Amino acid sequence: MPRTAARSAARSAPPSAAELLEFVRRTAADAALVASLPLDPQGRTWSRLEGPGGSEAWLIGWPPGTGTGWHDHGGSQGAFATAAGSLREESLAARIPTEGWKTLELADGVDRERHLTAGRGRAFGAHHVHQVLNESTDEHAVSVHAYYPPLPMMRRYSRTGAVLRLEHVEHPEEWQ
């Protein structure tokens, strides 16, 4: 294949999790972009970004004490990186069925936790269930997120001990 055809084929391929992670880390290091996000002391703020290869990307501001609650990304893979402050991610190391259930009892040992300070990030696969929290009592956090394919939906869960319950399915028109 000629070199230009190989480059075109590579450009049309969906971004990998590693490419999404590289994008969010690079974007999180853009101090001017991070500083441009208006921060609200009462709730999260966000700005839509142009992600690589047709991915969906967001710059998100987190007031002290805020979080996402348990959720997934509707089958999209993704990555996020902290640009300012510190975030804690709680996730499940288990593949959760996408349909046919309302309540699941989680097995022992599926809980994972990460602390992501400025400059740190992580990528995740299409079946990732997690929640992200800014546990600071006085400092905003800012992060960059990217998803491919663009989010078709997000499933929201509640959790009590080992019981995970599907609460709501959100669609893009609810957050864009």
- 43-92 pLDDT, tens digit per residue, is 999 999 999 999 999 999 999 999 999 999 999 999 999 999 999 999 99
Q: What are the residue boundaries of the structural domains of the chain, listed by start?
A: 15-93+109-152
Angle at 50 between CA 69 and CA 146, to 5 degrees: 35
Q: What distance, in Å, lies between the first and last C-alpha atoms of the chain? A: 41
Q: Average pLDDT in the 158-166 region?
A: 97
Q: Average pLDDT in the 112-138 region?
A: 97
66 contacts 142 by C-beta, under 8 angstroms: no
CATH topology of domain 15-93+109-152: Jelly Rolls (2.60.120)
Is it the case that residue 3 has pLDDT exceeding 50? no
Residue 176's pLDDT is: 65
Strands (E), 15-117: 45-50, 56-62, 70-71, 77-84, 86-92, 103-105, 111-117
- Return the sign of the alpha-carbon dihedral for residues 10, 12, 17, 18: positive
The CA distance from 52 to 74, in Å, is 19
- 134-155 pLDDT, tens digit per residue, is 999 999 999 999 999 999 999 9
